[in-house]
Chain A
């Protein structure tokens, strides 16, 4: 079973129909475990119970970047290998990635309220995630701007790859800008100094959220394939109606003359 075997949408639909329930079950179980562990994790001695926002916030932030990576791979598939399902994968991933990015921003902002005393701080991480969110929205606008999916696919693929090159540059420049302007009072998120009692729930949650993305992504890809089928059936029907109308009209003309 290689990637090229999945090029046939019917085979893809058949395979994912079998895989999807198992994926969904695994996601639910892991999410339940992760949520239970994060609920029972001890409070932080400085941040109190608000540290639990981290267990939702960090997986969302990690996925916001991971999804762009998935879209970049799919874009390479569109431009280089012309894989028929690559643009379906890229299109299906964009709204999910935007949702994860939005949740990362929202939870970050809610976390910032008790920690920094304000909902929004022009902190380097928050700012670069905000720009990432804007780029997701731009990409979705590009997908929606054109009604022919294969045309939009190639344009979106170019933009996704340009974004993949630019995102590290944007991240770097925002960091640099931030150290220039930021007052030093802002909390620094501790790098690897995380205690084991926080680390294990966080890892479980990260894996659970990744599985959640895979499940949602496959489901969205199935929907997209079906939506395209409906669209081409509708167009076939429309052209058939138009064609039979034409034939009928010419017959009438022939009868009267």
Chain B
């Protein structure tokens, strides 16, 4: 247990310090949201209608962008080999790494959401709904994205290949995340149904992600 918490603390510290690059995700998120009005026009009514979708897409892309650092840096300096050979089960170590990554790169996105909501003319309730759905949904993005990151590091290919592999898997999260936030803003559905499915998706990926990533690391690293 102490090994896992040490791993989490180490990963967060590395991610937040110079060269870590976790906060670049927030900057990217901000930039994507700022780009949107240039594409669709500065019509505030339209922006507030598209707001949840824009925020969700931005968060999805931002969390994807930071993912390839999950294993890559550890692989380069050799600590991934130590983690693979240690007595801690690799599945748990993967889960701990993903949790640390979510704390360092996912949570800042959610903290930034209210500010970006202002830019998109979302009211308090809508912003709160988007932030809440992001809080429930981004763990699923991180934990499924971890599979792609593990594949990418065993193949020594990152970037585009990982995005192509991971994005189709994140479609359900996007659907239910946007639907739950839209349910609060325009109705007519209840918020509960899509939101609980979103939580279920997060829980499923919490189980599947570490096992698949560990399998890929075990079979792929030599």
Taking beta carbons and an 8 Å cutoff, which residues of A are in contact with B?
79, 131, 134-135, 137-138, 141-142, 145-146, 151-152, 154-155, 157-159, 161-163, 165-166, 169-170, 172-174, 176-177, 180
The residue that A151 contacts in the complex, of B189, B201, B220, with Cβ under 8 A, is B220
The docked-state distance in angstroms from the alpha carbon of A145 to that of B144 is 21
With A154-B216, A158-B215, A158-B216 known to touch, is A142 a contact of B151 (CB < 8 Å)? yes
Determine if B216 and A134 form an interchain contact, defined as CB atoms under 8 angstroms apart.
no
Contact between B168 and A138 (Cβ–Cβ < 8 Å)? yes
Contacts known (A158-B215, A180-B189); A142 close to B171, Cβ less than 8 A: no
Q: Is B118 an interface residue (CB 8 A)?
A: no
The prevalent SS among residues of B at the interface is: helix
Known: A145-B157, A169-B204. A79 touches B219 (CB 8 A): yes
Q: Which residues of A contact B164 (CB under 8 A)?
A: 134, 137-138, 141
User: Taking chain A's interface residues, is the majority helix, strand, or loop, or is none over half, making it mixed?
Assistant: helix
**B159-173, CB < 8 A from A:** 161, 164-165, 168-169, 171-172
Chain B residues with Cβ below 8 Å from A137 are: 164
In contact, B151 and A158 (Cβ under 8 angstroms): yes
CB pair B169–A166 under 8 Å, yes or no, is: yes
Can you list 20 A-B pairs, Cβ within 8 angstroms, ordered by A?
A79-B215, A131-B171, A138-B164, A141-B165, A145-B157, A146-B155, A146-B157, A154-B154, A155-B151, A155-B219, A158-B150, A162-B208, A163-B169, A165-B208, A166-B172, A169-B172, A170-B169, A174-B171, A176-B179, A177-B175
In chain B between 140 and 186, which residues have their CB closer than 8 angstroms to a CB of chain A? 144, 147, 150-151, 154-157, 161, 164-165, 168-169, 171-172, 175-176, 179
Closest 4 A/B residue pairs (Cβ): A173-B172, A154-B219, A158-B216, A177-B175
Q: Measured between alpha carbons, how far is A146 from B156 in the docked complex, in Å?
A: 9
**Chain B's nearest CB lies how many Å from the CB of A137?**
8
Contact B151–A173 (Cβ < 8 Å): no
Q: From B188, which residue of chain A is reached at the shortest CB distance? A: A180
Across the interface, name the chain B residue whose C-beta is closest to A161.
Answer: B212
Chain B residues near A138 (CB-CB < 8 A) = 164-165, 168
- The complex places the Cα of A183 from the Cα of B164 at a distance, in Å, of 31
- Would B219 and A158 count as touching, CB distance under 8 A? yes
Q: Quick check: B216 and A155 within 8 Å, CB to CB? A: yes
Measured between beta carbons, the chain B residues less than 8 angstroms from A173 are: 171-172, 175-176, 197
Give the residues in chain A near B144, CB-CB below 8 Å: 166
Q: Which residues of chain B come closer than 8 Å to A159, judged between CB atoms? A: 147, 151, 165
Q: What is the bound-complex CA distance between A174 and B171, given in angstroms? A: 8
**Alpha-carbon separation in the docked complex, A158 to B217 (Å):** 10
Q: Is the CB of B147 within 8 A of A151?
A: no
* Residues of chain A with a CB closer than 8 A to B161's CB: 141-142, 145
| Interchain nearest-CB distance for A165 vs B (Å) | 6
Given A154-B220, A155-B155, A176-B197: 13 more A-B contacts, CB < 8 Å: A79-B215, A134-B168, A141-B161, A142-B151, A142-B161, A155-B151, A161-B212, A163-B169, A166-B144, A169-B201, A173-B171, A173-B175, A174-B171
List the A side residues contacting B220 at CB < 8 Å.
151, 154-155
Chain B residues lying within 8 Å of A131, measured Cβ to Cβ, are 168, 171
